Amino acid sequence: MLLVSCVVYGQSTVTGYVYHDANGNGKRDRREQGVAGVSVSNGTQVTVTDAKGRYELPVGQDNIIFVIKPSGYAVPVNELNQPQFYYIHKPNGSPQLKYGGVSPTGPLPKSVDFALIQQEEPTAFSALVFGDPQAYNEREVGYFAKGVVAELAGVKDVAFGLSLGDLVGDHLVLHSPYVKAVAEVGIPWYNLMGNHDMDYDAPADSLADESFEATFGPANYAFNYGNAHFIVLDDILYPDPRDGKGYWGGFRKDQLDFVENNLKYVDKDKLIVLAFHIPLLHENENAFRNADRQRLFDLLKDYPHTLSMSAHTHLQRQNFYGEADGWRQAKPHHEYNAGTTSGDWYSGELNEQGVPVSTMRDGTPKGYAFLRIDGNQYVIDYKVAGESADKQIKLFHPKVVAQGRGTQAGIFANFFMGHEGNTVEYRIDDDKWRPMTYTEAPDPEFMRLLYRWDTTDELMPGRRPSNAVNSTHLWRANIPTNLPVGEHRIEVRATDMFGRTFTERSTFRLAEPAQLP
């Protein structure tokens, strides 16, 4: 939170400068120049700086003023790699809440200034994406640090990271150890709010993010990098406006007003990346308020290059929105509903690190994603924690089958980033490639691991996984039995929505049928 003046007085507007911090000291020195044409927001309204880098915005008693980082510049980070792009203005602080919220900030400074640092910023870059770290206690923070962060510490050629909400599990004092853990990655890290990051004792939705704001700043903000424009939003309505209980996916009017006001200053050629916690799916309006999704889609109708990212479900799937869903363009809108770094809530058997395997209910191993952007185009790579980057498919099939005897057993391929319509093929030995059949069913490998918990004679360390659900990225093929006795090779190849092909291999054995006594 960068400001340079301690002179204060009462006012209903905030003014200040966005400036080039040439010496990196976080203060606007006399010779440091303002940066013109930079967007600044109070959370709803958006303005741009004038030729001298000056801006002015209205404020009330509860605003976070923030700069929308322009391309070609960085914002400073603190010692924990948190971007410092905002100033909290809550003269009286938060209402009385269990986790405290924001302490009183007092009168508004005479000038609220934001530092920018020029940097080389290519239009081709990568960002890290985490779904739901969601630790419920210090032990689980340790699982997150050891099982995910440790393999990323010191990562190279990644511009920044972004966690898609549920940073912790309801116990908001864990926000601090979460921040310390993710700081070890060593890159600037952005965060958004999930339903488990809220103040549950807040009397209104606009106050449910007070403790989040105290640690992370605004719950709704934007920034640019390269030719991409990122919009980060809190999409949890709490308390649920329908009955005052629980929460509902959606946006308040002021949040969507911010999106509208912000987009007025965003070129149509940019890639618009929206990030929020609850996916936009409308299979059941109990999950997300239809009117809010429709207004968002209407605001995006003139932007041909878009992507949404969400988490929340502890599954991985690709969602596509077309005309029937209210999308206003011919090309469907893609939402990546990301797999999680906590997997299935830190459940399952322990691996060699002593960390729960935590495979998700649809058979997706826990992990994280790389969002790779080139201009206004993107691809997404899912990385299974603890595995090589080329581990994109998990196979399940019998180890041995009776030769010449029909079987209903099959070869299953769980293509973690796949979706219905992808081309997934298999071949046995060096025979021709044949198509596999898309099927929505529980992943049999996950079921095998799950049933170990239900059939063991002795309790295993850890916690039983959740029950399986149908996977949206599973394919099946018959296993042949009309081949010679002996070992045979299985090869599966799958092509993703970005045109890239991945391969996984295994073997099975045909044996003479066992004779009955």
CATH number at residue 56: 2.60.40.10
pLDDT at residue 515, rounded to an integer: 84
Same structural domain, 479 and 351: no
Pair (374, 275) in one structural domain: yes
DSSP secondary-structure letter at 54?
A: E
- E strands in 165-220: 189-191
* Confidence (pLDDT) at 8: 41
Residue 465 belongs to a domain: yes
Q: Are residues 202 and 305 in the same domain?
A: yes
Predicted pLDDT at 4: 39
**pLDDT value, residue 281:** 85
Please give the pLDDT value at position 11: 54
Residue that is last in its domain, among 69, 86, 121: 121
Strand-by-strand arrangement of the 54-58 sheet: 54-58, 13-20, 114-118, 73-74
Residues 364 and 438 in one domain: no
Shared domain for 410 and 468, answered yes or no, is: yes
Q: How far apart are CA 503 and CA 491, in angstroms?
A: 7
| 60 inside domain | yes
Q: Are residues 196 and 265 in the same domain?
A: yes
What pLDDT is recorded for position 166? 98
Q: Which residues of the chain have pLDDT under 70?
A: 1-11, 282-284
* 364/416 Cα distance (integer angstroms): 6
Q: Tell me, yes or no, whether 355 lies in a domain.
A: yes
Range(s) of the domain holding residue 51: 1-121
- With b for 16 or more beta-carbon neighbours within 10 A and e for fewer, the 312-340 pattern comes to bbbbbbbbebeeebbbebeeebbbbbbbb
| Residues 338, 241 share a domain | yes
DSSP 328-380: -SSSPEEEEE---SSTTTT-B-B-TTS-B----TTSPPSEEEEEEEETTEEEE
**What is the per-residue pLDDT across 112-125, written as a single tens digit (0 to 9) for each?**
999 999 999 999 99
The CA-atom distances, in angstroms, between 170 and each of 98, 193, 201 are 11, 12, 11
**pLDDT, tens digit, 9 for 90 and up, residues 322-361:** 999 999 999 999 999 999 999 999 999 999 999 999 999 9
Mark whether 377 and 291 lie in a shared domain: yes
What percent of the chain has pLDDT above 70? 97
**Mean pLDDT, all residues of the chain:** 95
Count: domains in the chain = 3
Beta-strand relationship, 248-249 and 221-225: unpaired
Residues 77 and 196 in one domain: no
Same domain, 364 and 463: no
**146 and 106, same structural domain?**
no
Confidence at residue 10, expressed as pLDDT on a 0 to 100 scale: 44
Round to whole Å and give the CA distance between 62 and 280. 28
